[in-house]
Amino acid sequence: MLKISSDFKVTTPINMLNRFQESKSKEHNEFSITIYDKFGNNFNGFFEQLSTISNTVLISDKSGNFIFFDIDHLAHVVLHDAQLHLNFLQYSAPTKKVTENSNIDLDERIQLLQQMLQKNYSLSFQFSIDQINKNNKIESENIAVLLDFLSENIRSLASDDFNLTALKKVSSFHIINTTQTKFSLKLNEETISIYINFEDKLPFNINELIEKGFNRVL
């Protein structure tokens, strides 16, 4: 689990984007983020630039495309690989640079998620990933983002006593590689299986699909 010091300061999404801009300009750091708008849409990529004049944030996705996002519609921002940016989050020394070539440690991601759920909600889940090539950057990125959204939805459900009781009946999550569907979430006894094509771009409404899937099976 990430250890945040007492110096950690909670800030607004727009202030965080301003800090990304400053850190990228001064320290040349890279930030892998997901931006949500007020309509539930989300966009994944690396932070490139923020313009307060045009009210636009520019991010680039893994295919090299640029996304121009109107910050007037900004709802919240997810910072991925947060463990590599602890100094940045705590307003201390320069952070470790993350680049497109950085390896994503999915085992560590899962371990951190398990520790957080156990400590905060007394939830004990096993996570398994089917047929993933950890040397494939696209597959690893997709699974990392999926785990982030899965974590968000589990934490949201666990904040309600009724849903928390339902979650405690689940023992494991199995993420399965398939070319037959873009996304599917099913419950079989105590296991929730998530079917997704590891190499395809994640559906733009992946968070909504996970939320609907949980509502259907729990």
**CA 166 – CA 17 distance, rounded (Å):** 36
Q: What is the pLDDT of residue 88?
A: 76
Position 92 scores a pLDDT of 56
* Same domain, yes or no: 126 and 181: yes
Provide the H-helix boundaries in 74-195: 86-89, 106-121, 137-158, 161-167
Average pLDDT, the chain: 83
In this structure, the number of other CB atoms found within 10 A of the CB of residue 108 comes to: 10
Residue that terminates a domain, selected from 58, 89, 120: 89
**Residue that is last in its domain, among 89, 122, 141:** 89
pLDDT tens digits, residue range 194-218?
999 988 888 878 888 999 999 999 9
Do 111 and 209 fall within a single domain? yes
> Considering the domain boundaries, does residue 1 fall inside one?
no
Q: Is residue 22 part of a domain?
A: yes
Residues 110 and 29 in one domain: no
Enter the DSSP assignment of 80: S
Residues 172-199 as b/e (b if ≥16 CB within 10 A, e otherwise) read: ebbbebeeeeebebeeeeeebbbbbbbe
pLDDT band at 175, cuts 50/70/90?
Answer: very high
Name the region of 98 (left: φ>0; alpha: ψ -120 to 50; beta: rest). Answer: beta
Rounded mean pLDDT of 20-33? 83
Residue 46 lies in a domain: yes
Q: Are residues 157 and 82 in the same domain?
A: no
Domain that holds residue 209: 106-217
For residues 126 and 185, membership in a common domain is answered with yes
Say whether pLDDT at 170 is over 90.
Answer: yes
Q: Is residue 25 part of a domain?
A: yes
Residue 27's CATH number: 2.30.30.100
Amino acid (1-letter code) at residue 216: R
pLDDT for 176:
95
Q: Is-contact 202 142, C-beta < 8 A?
A: yes
pLDDT: which is higher, 45 or 8: 45
Pairing of strands 126-129, 172-177: parallel
Asked whether residue 134 falls in the same domain as residue 69, the answer is no
76 & 137 share domain: no
Number of domains into which the chain is organized:
2
98 inside domain: no
pTM over 0.85: no
Rounded average pLDDT over 26-31 = 80
Examine residue 99 and state whether it is found in any structural domain, yes or no: no
Q: Are residues 143 and 208 in the same domain?
A: yes
